[in-house]
Amino acid sequence: MKVIGLIGGMSWESTAEYYRIINKTIKERLGGLHSAKILLYSVDFSEIATLQTEGRWPEATKFMCDAAQRLERGGADCVLICTNTMHKMAPEVQSSVTIPLLHIADSTAIEIKKRGIKRIGLLGTKYPMEEDFYKKSLIDDYDLDVFIPPEDGRTIVNRVIYEELCLGKVVEESRNQFQQIIQDLNARGVEGVILGCTEISLLINQKDSPLPLFDTTAIHAQAAVSFALEDT
């Protein structure tokens, strides 16, 4: 079994889900007392969030590359960035290490293609919704049509993530707002929705949506297990 390297803490609530899902999936696949071999480098999210909001992306990139290098030196066989937003610097992180970076958008797009879906909605922080670093891969590499909410919807989603979910707060009114945003995407002909922030699944699950939901936390974690077990 290979060693899975996780860059976590962004937020710790979603990183705990990665740890749970990876170990649960290993147990389901191998049975008995088996559990995953994991190295976790957990950051102080306050430091990262400050770099994000102040637009200090070169510093954030250096931070993430350092975390990946620490995992590689510790014996990890792959690296996962346990957040969608910080895939903004995924190319630089991959270039900083010799082990593979398992990209969250790749894992998610593969699952979408398996379902035969073409028109996909994307919910996340403002960074993956509004910038190209995430959407471009889905469009160029996987031939998907990507839809995001209008500005007021994007503001709601971003606020709920940072002011509630990242602080461990699950608010019923916010769930209702997310459901309405998904309904609006449905009305635009969208066939499924990416939960493109690893915290969103703490608020919304499949029973809350008329459209298929693609939980990037679960998909990414399961891709890590497949990598870890591919030679066993």
Choice among 85, 166, 197, 198 that is catalytic:
197
Run of H or E residues at 21: helix 12-30
Q: Please state, as a whole number, how many other Cβ atoms lie within 10 Å of the Cβ of residue 118.
A: 15
Choice among 83, 108, 125, 217 that is catalytic:
83
- Angle formed by the axes of helices 151-163 and 172-187, to 10°? 150
Is 166 marked active-site?
no
User: Which residues does 83 contact at the CB level (< 8 Å), separation at least 6?
Assistant: 10, 14, 197, 198
Is 65 marked active-site?
no
Counting every residue, how long is the chain?
A: 232
The answer to whether the beta carbons of residues 85 and 127 sit under 8 Å apart is yes
Q: Which residues are catalytic?
A: 83, 197
